[in-house]
Structure 1
Amino acid sequence: MADALRPSARVTEMVAAMTLDEKAGLTAGVDFWSTLPVERVGLPRVRLTDGPNGARGPVTRGEGGLRAVCVPCGTALGASWDVDLLERVGVLLGTEARRKACRVLLAPTVNIHRSPLAGRNFECYSEDPLLSGRAAAALVRGVQAQDVATTVKHLVANDAEHERTSMSSDVDERTLREIYLLPFELAIREGGSLGVMTSYNRLNGIWCTEDEALLGGILRDEWGFSGFVVTDWYGVTTTEVSPAAGVDLEMPGPGRAFGAPLADAVRAGTVAEADLDAQVTRLLSVFERVGALDDTGTEEPTSADEPADRELALEAAVSGTVLLTNDGTLPLDRSALRRVAVIGPNAAKAVIMGGGSSHVEPFHVATPLEAIGDHLGPDVEVVHEPGVDITRAAPTLKAEVAVTYHAGSEPGGEQVRAETLTATQLLSFGPPQGVPAEFTARATCTFTPERTGPHLFTLAQAGRARLAVGGRVLIDGMATPLPRGRTFMGYGSKEVTETIDLVAGDPVEIAIDYTSGGDGGSGGVYGVKVGLRALLPPDAVERAVAAAAEADVAVVVVGTDDEWESEGFDRRSMDLPGEQDGLIRAVAAANPRTVVVVNAGAPVTMDWIDDPAAVVQAWFGGQAMGPALARILTGDAEPGGRLPTTVPERLEHNPSWGTFPGDHDHHRYGEGVFVGYRWYQSRHLPVRFPFGHGLSYTTFDVGTPTVPASFTAGTGDELVVEVPVTNTGSRSGSEVVQLYVAPPSRTEVPRPPQELKAFAKVHLTAGESTVVRLTLDDRAFAWWDVGTEGHAAVVERLPLKPPGAAAAVRSPGWRVEAGTYALRVGRSSADIAHVVPVEVVPA
C-alpha cells in the first residue's frame, strides 16, 4: 500500500491562505473536466479524463478532440490474468493522460460481473473479486507511476444499468465485504489508488455519497485511504451530509450541492468549516503528490502515435484472447491456404469497445477482414460476405464532418465555434466549450455509396435535430419531436429510420441541423447521431454459405457492438443479436473448417458450440484487436487468455436470475456470496465454459504442489505454495496456474465449494520449466463474521431466552475457522490437477 498522504507545509499554508468561497469552490468542478484554479495562492486548474479504454482528454465523446490509444476493454484485460502486463498498460494510460494535460484518470472500473446481462460488464474485469482487485491494483500502480491519480470506481454495488441513478442495491454485510468491496480494497491497499469514485446507486437505502459508514468507516478508517473521493458525474450529493460522509469533489461543475451552496452552508453553521478544510486538504494533497500543483493549468492536450504504444496494445489484445474450443484446425497452416472466407456482421467493422463514457477515438483501427487480408498477404484470396446484419439501426458514418455552432436556439445566430469531427455524432454534457446554453449547430459531410440500392439512415437526438440527404429532408425531429428512447446513455430519443435509394459512386451531401431548444438537453445532455448502412440483399445468408463452401477455411466473426453493450442500459438477452446463430450453423455445415470468433464484451449463448472447428473469444480487443486476431489464427501469436467470467449454458442458470436488474427501486442481491462460479459449482449446474478456462497451442504439465502441512492464522505469516510448471509442447506459450481454496467439510456459515485465492501467469518456451510461488495469508481462509451485536439485541427482547444467550457479544470482523482446507491447483475452476490438504489453526 502507498504511504498515507499527510498534508505538507505547502498544502497547509495554501488551505490557510484561501478564502471560504475559494475553498468551497474547489470542491466542485469549474466545468465538465476541470477543478477550480485559485491563481492568488498558486493553485492551477486540474483536469480529469475518462478512462478505462484510454485517456480521451478533457473532452466529451462527440465533441471532437484528440485521438488516443485504445486498449482492450476491461473484460479482455481481466482475461489476460497478467498483472505485469496490466501494470504496463497502466503506465501507457498514465502517459496518455499526461499527454492530454490531465492529472486524474477516471479508471479502473472494478464492479463485479454479477449478471451476464449487465450493460457495463465489458468495462469491468471479472466475476471474481480477487482477479478484479489484483488487475486493478496493477493498473493503478502503472498509472500513478506517471504522476496521474486513478479513481477506482464505482463504489459500490453498481452492477446494473437499469435505473442506476436511483436504485438501492440491497446487499448483506458479509456479501458486501467478501465480494463487492474486495476489488476496491485491493486497488487501495495493494495498488495505492489516490482516488475513489462513488456510484450513482444507493446502498441498502443510503446514497453512497451520503454513506459515512462506507466512506469514512470502511474506506478511510479500516483501509487507511487518505486520497480523495469524487462523485460520478451528476451523482446525487447533499450539501449538509456528503462533506461529513467523506465526499471531496462534486463533478461536473458548476456545483449543485458543493461550491457556492457549500460556502453558504458553512456560513449558516450547518456544515463545519473543519469538514470543508478536510475536503480541500485531501484534494490538494493528491494534487501535490502527482505534481499538479506545479503545472500551469494551461498546458495544451496533445496526441502521440508511438510504435511502442501500438505494440503494447497488440500484446494486450493477444494476451486476453481466449481459445474456447479447437479440434486442431488452429493454428492455420498458411502454406496450405489459397482462399479464406471472412464472414459475419462484425467482420468488416471494427467493434473494439463498448458504448458510453469510456469511448475514445483511436489512431489505428483495422477490421478483422482488413487485418486477416493484410496478414495473409497477396497470395491468399480473402472473400467477404456479411451474411446477416445486427445493427439495431445503423452505425454512425465515419467521415470528415464540418460543424459550426451558433448562439441562440433559432437559426441565424452568431457563429461561436467551428470544428471538424470524424463521425456524424455530436454529444456534450452541458453546452460544448465556448457555446452558450441556447445554441444551434449545423454539420455537413459527403458520402459516396459503394453499391447501388436502398440505404437506411437513422436519427437520434437529445435536443432537436433534422437530417437532410442530397438536399431532401429525410427525418425531421425539429418539427415533430422523436419519441423517448435509450440513446445517449438513456437521455436521448429512439432512433428513427428512413430508407433512400442511392447510386454507387454518386456522392451525396449529408446535412444535420440541431438546436438545444424545445425539449432538448435532457439531463444536461445535448446530442445528435446520424447512422447509415446499406441494406443487405435478400440472399445474404446463401451468399455467405456459398463463399464458405468454396474456401479452404471460413472465419465467422459474430458478436455484439455498442448498440447492444453500453453504459446506460442492460442487455435483455444473452443470445447473439439477429440471425447470427443460424449463420454459424449454416456456414459450419458448408465448411467443416469453420472458425467462429466471438467479438463481444460479455458471455453470449452458444448452443451451436459443437458445430465449428474452433471458437475464439476476442472480446472488445481495443485498436489492435484485428491484427491480434490475424496473428492468433495463423499461429504467429499464442491465445493467452483465460475466461474471467463463467459462460453459462442458459441465462436462467446464472445466480442473479429472478432478481436482475431489479424492480420497485431495489436491486436485491439474493444470491449472497454465491456469485459466478461459486454459484454454479455449489448448485452443481452445468456450464458452457468454466471460469478460468482457455486452451493453448502448446501443452503444459502442472506438477504436484509443495505445501506446508499446516498454517497458523493470526500471526501475520504467509503460506507459500510452490508449483512446478513445464511446457511439454513444441512451441512457446503461456499458462495460468490457479489456486482455489476449499473450506472444511463443516463450517459455521454456508461457504462456496472453492474460491480463487492466488494465481500466476507464466510464459515458457518449448521444454522450459519453472516453479510458481503462490502465497496465501489469513484472508485466503477467512469469511466475514457479521458479529452477534444485532442478535444480542434481538434476544434481549425474548421472554424466554435460548441457552447461551448470555455469551459474550462478538464484534464483526474477518474470521478463520480451524479445520482441514483443500488447496486445489489447476488450469481452471473445473480443471483441477492437484488437491492438497492443509491444516489451518487460528492463533
Structure 2
Amino acid sequence: MTPATLVDGLTLEEQVSLLSGADFWSTPAIGRLGIGSLRVTDGPNGARGAGSWIGAISAAAFPVGISLGATWDRSLLSEIGAALAEEVKDKGAHVLLGPTVNLQRGALNGRNFECYAEDPVLTAALAVAYIGGLQGQRVGATVKHFVANESEFQRTTMSSEVDERTLRELYLVPFEAAVKEAHAWAVMSSYNRLNGTFTSEHGWLLTDVLRRQWGFDGVVMSDWFGSHSTAETMRAGLDLEMPGPTRDRGAALVRAVEAGTVPRDAVRQAALNMLRLMQRTGALQDARPHEEKAVEREATRALIRRAGARGTVLLTNDGTLPLAGVGKIAVIGPNAKAARCMGGGSSQLKAHRQVSPWEGLAAAVGEGALLFAPGCDNHRYAPELAGPLRAEWFANDDFSGTPVHVETLAVAHAMMIDAPAGGRVDPKRFSLRITGRYVPEADGRHRIGVYAAGRARVLVDGCEVVEAWESWTRGSTFFEEGCDERIGEVEMAVGRSCEIVILFQPVETTLMAFSAYHVGIGLPMADAEIAEAVRVAAEAQVAVLCVGRNGEWDSEGADLPSMTLPGRQNELIEAVAAVAERTVVVLQTGGPVEMPWVGKVSAVVQAWYPGQEAGHAVADVLLGHVEPGGRLPQSFPHRLDDTQTQGGGGLSYPGVEGRVRYAEGLLVGYRHHEANAIAPLFPFGHGLGYAAIDIEAMVVEGDTFSASATVALRVTLANRGQRKGSQVVQVYVSPDAAPVERPPSELKAFTRIDLSPGETGDVVLRLDPRDFAWYCTRRSGWIVSPGEYALRAGLSADDRRFVATVARQGELVLPV
C-alpha cells in the first residue's frame, strides 16, 4: 500500500498522532494498520541512540563537522555517510539528525565545530556527499538547522535579522543543494526566529521556498522543543513536533481542525509526508522491538582514523615535520593524555574508545621514546567527579522517607532527558541525593564546581562548600537551562578520603523539559607544572605541545568568551619554545584561535576534534605515515577584532534586545578579509603538505561563457617532491563591474588530486551559470550580469597566481 493510499485510511486522530513524538526519540505506531514507529537518533558525528549523553550505549565517534570540512573530500564524506548508516541501524533507528550545514559566520559560535565551513559552496558539496552516503543505505538524513542559526547566545529566542539576498546567496545555499541535489528526506527547523518569526512558524521559509521553489517532499521537524504553537506551525508547514509527548498537537490540533483554524488538508499532507519518510527508511512496516547494540567495526575504525588525518591541517612547518629519527619526544600539554574526540552538546556520545595523542604516539614509537608533562590545564569547568557514587531518588522534594530508587553512578554528571529514576518519580517534583568519596592526589586548596538545570548543593565531610540552590539563576549551561558554574574551595590533604554529598532538586524549565547537573573537583595547576614542562622539553630533541580547547568550550548551548587559548596555554607554549630544540604545536579546537607565539615555533598542526581515533590520526601525521590532508574551511584571523561580526555595539554579535543583525551581509570570512584588506593569519583554503605539489598552469577550455554562461577550467599540477601526496585546487570567481555590490571573489569549484613523486596531472573544473549569478529580490531570480569575470585557480583564498578572464554581452535570468 502506498503512503498516499494509506493516509486516507487513517482517521483524523490517527493522522494527527503521526505529527508529534510519542517520546524523546520516536513517533507512535498505529497498530490498527500495522504502521510502525519512526525512530531518530542524534548525530551528526555518530549515532548515540536513545540513551543519555553520558551513560548511553557506546557508538563510533566520527570526526566533527569542521574536521570533515577541512578534508574538502566529497568521496570521503560519502564513505562516512554510508558508515554512519550502519551505526544508525545498530541503534534501531531510521533517521539520523544530521548533517549540520549552518555556516561559520563568526569565530565565537560554540557550535562552529559541528559545521563544515564558512563558505556555502564547500558546505553544500560536502553535505550532498554525506547525505548521499547515508540515504543510499535507506537511513534518512535530517539537514539542520533551517536557517540562520549561526550562534548559540539566546538561540531559542533570538531573531536573526537577515536580508533575502544574503539568505539566498549564503545561508540557504547548503539547504538548497541538500534538497535539489541530494534529495534529503528531512529538514529540521532551527530554534531562532528569522526576521521576527520563529522558523518553525515561518511559512515563507518552510512552504514557499522549501517546498514550492525547491520541490522538497520530505518531513520538516522541529528542533527539540522548538515548536511554540499549534495552528501557526501547521499552517507554516512544520510536519513533526519533537520531542513527545506533544505539547502543541494531539487533542489541541484535532480541536483546531474542528474549529477551522487549521485546514484538514494540511493535516493530511503532513501525515502523508511522515508516511513517505517511513516508507523510505523502512520504518513503515518495522515491527521489531527497539534494540540498541554497540558494534565495533575495524573498517569503521580505519575510516575514522583516515578521515582524522585527512582533515588535519598543517598550518606552518620549517621542515621539522614529519618527525623521523628525532630521539626523545616531549609530549606536553593539557590535551596530551586527554583524548579530545568531539565537541559538546547534542552531538556528543559515549565513544567505543578515545585515543589520546600520547597513546597514539606511544603505539607508534613506544613509550620509551616519550617524555610527558601536563604543563597546565584547559578546563572550562571543574573536572568531573568520578564514582562510584550512590544515587538515592525520593518521590518528594525534601529527601524524606525511603528512596524509591537507588543506583550506582560512574560520574557526577547527568542529563535527565527522559523519565528520571526509571519513571518512579515525577520529573517536576523529586529530590536526589548522591554520595561518594574522593581521595586527593596532592595537598592543596581544591576547587569544587557545580552547575545544574535544577537546584544543587555540595557538602564535603558534612560541610557545605558550594551551592546553586538559594543563589540559582538560569545561565549559559545545559542549553541555557542551567546556571553558570558556582565554585567553592576546600583544603584537602593527599590520601585523606573525603565524603562528598550532592543534593539536587528540579526547577521549572523555560523551553526544554529536562533536569541536569555537573559536579567537579580538582586542584588547579600552577607555576610548578609549567616549570616541569620546561624541564622536560629541554631534555628532548623535539617538544610536541598538545593544546587547545575541549567539548566544554566548543559546545552547543553556549558561545566562546574569546579567541584566546584557555588558561595559561599561551604562556606554556612561549616557555617551552624558549628552551626546546624544536617545538611542534598540535591544536585541538573547533575553530580559530589567536596565536601570539606562531613565529616562535617550528610547526603548527590544526587537528580539530577528529573522532575516537584522534591520537592515532595525530601520530600518523606527525610521524609522516600519512599526509596532513586538511585545508582550512574557516579563515583564521590574527585577532578577534579582525572578524566581521565584531563592533556595531553588539547588534552584529551577540545581539541586542533579542535581535542579531547580519550587518556584514555577504562579506563573511574570506570575503570580509579581501573586501576590507584585512590580512588573515591563515587564509581560507590554506594547508601545507609533505609532498611538493603545486599548480603549474591554468587554461579556459573553449568559449562557451559568452553563449551559455558555462566554463571549463583545466588546471595542471605537478609533484616535484619525493613523497606521494594530494592537493586541493580551488576556483574563485570575481565579477569585474557588477550592477550591485558583490564580494571581491567567491569560491565556486574545488577538487582534490593525488600525485606520486614526479607525476603531473590535470583536473577540469566546470562552472555553470549559477556560479556567476547574484540574487535579485525585486525580480525573484538569479541574474548573470553582462561584463567580465576573473577566474582564479589557487591553493587558498589568497593565492592569486593563476587568473583568466571571461566575458559575456547579455544578461541571463535563472529561476529559483
Q: Provide the TM-score with structure 2 as the length reference.
A: 0.94
> How far apart are residue 572 of structure 1 and its match?
2.3
Q: Name the structure 1 match of 2:480.
A: 490
- Distance of 2:614 and 2:555 partners within structure 1: 19
> How far apart are residue 442 of structure 1 and its match?
4.3
> How far apart are residue 414 of structure 1 and its match?
6.7
- Distance of 2:492 and 2:273 partners within structure 1: 59
1:372 to 2:340 alignment: no
* Counterpart residue identity of residue 767, structure 2: L
> How far apart are residue 351 of structure 1 and its match?
2.1
> How far apart are residue 193 of structure 1 and its match?
0.9
> How far apart are residue 418 of structure 1 and its match?
6.0
- Distance of 2:794 and 2:129 partners within structure 1: 23
- Distance of 2:455 and 2:501 partners within structure 1: 14
> How far apart are residue 324 of structure 1 and its match?
0.3
**Tell me, which stretches of 5 or more residues in structure 2 are unaligned?**
none
Alignment CA distance shift 1:122-1:294 (3 Å): same
> How far apart are residue 391 of structure 1 and its match?
1.7
Give me the identity figure in percent. Answer: 43
| Deviates further, 446-455 or 530-539 | 446-455
Matched position secondary structure for 2:697: coil
> How far apart are residue 506 of structure 1 and its match?
5.9
1:663 to 2:656 alignment: yes
> How far apart are residue 288 of structure 1 and its match?
0.3
Q: Name the structure 2 match of 1:262.
A: 253
The equivalences for 1:43-82 within 5 A come to 43-62=35-54, 64-82=55-73
- Distance of 1:165 and 1:552 partners within structure 2: 51
The equivalences for 1:106-117 within 5 A come to 106-117=97-108
1:688 to 2:675 alignment: no
Paired residues of 1:741 and 1:755 also in contact (CA < 8 A): yes
1:28 to 2:30 alignment: no
Q: Name the structure 1 match of 2:231.
A: 240
Matched length? 804
Matched position secondary structure for 2:220: strand
- Distance of 2:388 and 2:84 partners within structure 1: 27
Paired residues of 1:53 and 1:71 also in contact (CA < 8 A): yes
Paired residues of 1:492 and 1:522 also in contact (CA < 8 A): no
Q: Name the structure 2 match of 1:388.
A: 376
- Distance of 2:225 and 2:235 partners within structure 1: 19
Alignment CA distance shift 1:416-1:48 (3 Å): farther
> How far apart are residue 579 of structure 1 and its match?
2.1
> How far apart are residue 375 of structure 1 and its match?
2.2
- Distance of 2:406 and 2:314 partners within structure 1: 47
Paired residues of 1:403 and 1:441 also in contact (CA < 8 A): yes
> How far apart are residue 134 of structure 1 and its match?
0.9
Alignment CA distance shift 1:784-1:537 (3 Å): closer
* Counterpart residue identity of residue 488, structure 2: E
Q: Name the structure 2 match of 1:514.
A: 504
| Deviates further, 315-324 or 403-412 | 403-412
The equivalences for 1:356-755 within 5 A come to 356-384=345-373, 386-399=374-387, 401=389, 403=391, 405-411=393-399, 421-429=409-417, 431-432=419-420, 434-435=423-424, 436-437=426-427, 438-444=429-435, 447-469=438-460, 474-477=465-468, 480-502=470-492, 504=494, 510-516=500-506, 523-658=512-647, 659-712=652-705, 718-743=710-735, 745-755=736-746
Alignment CA distance shift 1:244-1:825 (3 Å): same
Q: Name the structure 1 match of 2:789.
A: 821
- Distance of 1:506 and 1:365 partners within structure 2: 31
Q: Name the structure 1 match of 2:802.
A: 834
- Distance of 2:345 and 2:550 partners within structure 1: 12
Paired residues of 2:103 and 2:115 also in contact (CA < 8 A): yes
Paired residues of 1:26 and 1:259 also in contact (CA < 8 A): no
| Deviates further, 603-612 or 420-429 | 420-429
| Deviates further, 656-665 or 442-451 | 442-451
Paired residues of 1:464 and 1:520 also in contact (CA < 8 A): no
Paired residues of 2:707 and 2:808 also in contact (CA < 8 A): no
> How far apart are residue 405 of structure 1 and its match?
4.1
What is the root-mean-square deviation of aligned Cα atoms in Å?
Answer: 2.2
| Deviates further, 481-490 or 95-104 | 481-490
- Distance of 1:211 and 1:537 partners within structure 2: 52
User: 1:613-666: per-residue Cα shift (whole Å, max 9, x none)?
Assistant: 101111122211111111211111211100001011121121122211111221
Q: Name the structure 2 match of 1:202.
A: 193
* Counterpart residue identity of residue 673, structure 1: L
Paired residues of 1:599 and 1:617 also in contact (CA < 8 A): yes
**Tell me, which stretches of 5 or more residues in structure 1 are unaligned?**
1-8, 788-810
- Distance of 2:351 and 2:732 partners within structure 1: 38
| Deviates further, 158-167 or 393-402 | 393-402
User: 1:786-821: per-residue Cα shift (whole Å, max 9, x none)?
Assistant: 12xxxxxxxxxxxxxxxxxxxxxxx22000012222
> How far apart are residue 112 of structure 1 and its match?
0.9
- Distance of 1:446 and 1:189 partners within structure 2: 57
> How far apart are residue 167 of structure 1 and its match?
1.6
Matched position secondary structure for 1:704: strand
Q: Name the structure 2 match of 1:129.
A: 120
- Distance of 2:682 and 2:159 partners within structure 1: 32
- Distance of 2:641 and 2:465 partners within structure 1: 43
Paired residues of 2:43 and 2:347 also in contact (CA < 8 A): yes
- Distance of 1:416 and 1:19 partners within structure 2: 41
* Counterpart residue identity of residue 693, structure 2: F
- Distance of 1:769 and 1:404 partners within structure 2: 68
- Distance of 1:773 and 1:472 partners within structure 2: 71
The equivalences for 1:757-776 within 5 A come to 757-776=748-767
- Distance of 2:436 and 2:123 partners within structure 1: 43
Paired residues of 1:48 and 1:105 also in contact (CA < 8 A): yes
- Distance of 2:367 and 2:413 partners within structure 1: 36
Alignment CA distance shift 1:542-1:140 (3 Å): same
- Distance of 1:447 and 1:10 partners within structure 2: 60
Paired residues of 2:379 and 2:552 also in contact (CA < 8 A): yes
| Deviates further, 368-377 or 173-182 | 368-377
User: 1:369-400: per-residue Cα shift (whole Å, max 9, x none)?
Assistant: 2322332214413222x222232331224555
Paired residues of 2:436 and 2:499 also in contact (CA < 8 A): yes
- Distance of 1:70 and 1:221 partners within structure 2: 37
> How far apart are residue 485 of structure 1 and its match?
2.8
Q: Provide the TM-score with structure 1 as the length reference.
A: 0.91
| Deviates further, 576-585 or 267-276 | 576-585
Find the partner of 1:289 among 280, 285, 295. 280
- Distance of 1:263 and 1:405 partners within structure 2: 38
| Deviates further, 650-659 or 768-777 | 768-777
Matched position secondary structure for 1:775: strand
* Counterpart residue identity of residue 368, structure 1: P
* Counterpart residue identity of residue 411, structure 1: F
| Deviates further, 311-320 or 446-455 | 446-455
Alignment CA distance shift 1:289-1:421 (3 Å): farther
- Distance of 1:101 and 1:401 partners within structure 2: 30
* Counterpart residue identity of residue 686, structure 1: A
Alignment CA distance shift 1:772-1:574 (3 Å): same
